Amino acid sequence: MQADAANNTIVYFENQFVPIGEAKVGILTHALHYGTGVFEGIRGYWEPAGNELYLVRPVEHYQRWKANGALLRLHLPLSAPELAQLTAELCRRNGYRTNVYVRPLAYKSAQRIGVAPDDRDAFAIIVVPYGDYLDSRNGLRAGVSSWRRIEDNAIPGRGKICGAYVNSALAGDEARRNGYDEAIFLTEDGHVAEGASCNLFIVRHGALITPPPTDNILEGITRAAVMELARRELHLETQERSIDRSELYVADEVFFTGTAVEVAPIIEVDRRPVGAGAIGPVTAELRRLYFEATRGRLPAYRRWLLPVYHPARMDKAA
Ligand code: PMP
């Protein structure tokens, strides 16, 4: 994964475009101590044929960011479309002609000790060049984590709250130390929730199944995109229902979805082969469709994309 910012990267910080080296927060910043921030992850794909950089579903990401900010009573002064335009401007100022990853971060910014937050809020948007998060071309090996997914009544998992990601960091670290590519979380009552940084689907007896939002998942934008592609292109309705751990072992196909992982086949769970131990046909087709759609090659899905360099290309037709 390449996600390092060069020294001359321009970021949006404290309502201005500044070089990344000038975007600094104080050591007493509330969010640094208590995790009181919400973040997003958005991808942009460079399409050399059209000389275009496409941001993928930026308005949906910013709508989620604003809603999650409200969970923490963090106020974001701009609308979701304004934030999407600001991000396109940030890409242009950096002159990016490569795949990118956008990291919006809103946080409680008071400089003082004390866990109860006040109304001092700030936000930043950073865009960096970005390649593969996980190389999933030949399928991933996943392991069920010994860490449980956080409960909505403890820390809302749907909130993409900074502090909540300790849960994902613990599970992801454990998985990698055990030789897996990614962790699979169970809920406290033992149902499959999601990966440490992605949603999960299974294919069983021809049905496409994914855990419901009430099983403590993040309501993924890629998850919704894949459900739409399955419905419209494969005539396959997704069942949202709880999934038992043992269904992972008997499923025909299992895959992850997420902005970073995209559509990532899982060929092994807990060292047991999934199906035939190779990438299954439904996963392969959804992966192909998602790839094509996010590169602007499927007219029906151009409405998902914000072109950075030629905004007139925005195609609102479904
Ligand atoms: N679950 C978790 C815990 C995540 O961090 C992510 C990444 N944002 C996802 C699922 C996938 O969400 P999305 O498709 O919106 O990136």
Cα distance between residue 267 and residue 199, in whole Å: 16
pLDDT given at position 96: 97
Q: Where are the alpha helices (DSSP H) in the chain?
A: 30-34, 58-71, 80-94, 165-177, 221-234, 245-250, 281-294
Question: Mean pLDDT per segment of 10 residues, for the chain of length 318 residues?
Answer: 73 97 97 98 95 97 98 96 98 97 98 93 97 85 98 97 98 98 97 98 98 98 98 98 98 98 97 96 98 96 97 55
Residues 6+ apart with CB under 8 A from 153: none
Residue nearest to atom 5 of ligand 1 (CA): 197
pLDDT given at position 1: 45
Cα distance between residue 185 and residue 191, in whole Å: 8
Cα distance between residue 157 and residue 168, in whole Å: 10
The catalytic residue among 24, 66, 108, 160 is: 160
pLDDT given at position 314: 57
φ/ψ of 229, rounded to 5, equals -60, -40
Q: Within 6 Å (CB) of ligand 1, which residues are found?
A: 41, 168, 194, 197-199, 218, 220-223, 257-259
CB 185, CB 194: distance < 8 Å: yes
**Domains defined for the chain, CATH in brackets:** 3-129 (3.30.470.10), 140-294 (3.20.10.10)
Distances (CA, A) of 269 to 42, 67, 248, 273: 28, 34, 7, 7
Atom of ligand 1 nearest to the CA of 64: 15
Dihedral sign of CA atoms 21, 90, 13, 197 in order: negative
Residues 6+ apart with CB under 8 A from 107: 25, 29, 30, 31, 36, 37, 38, 74, 121, 122, 123, 162
pLDDT given at position 133: 75
Residue type, 80: A
pLDDT given at position 3: 59
CB 141, CB 268: distance < 8 Å: yes
Structure tokens belonging to residue 231 = 């419905």
pLDDT given at position 318: 35
Residue nearest to atom 9 of ligand 1 (CA): 198
pLDDT given at position 176: 97
List % helix, strand, coil for the chain (3-state, nearest 5). 35, 30, 35
pLDDT given at position 68: 98
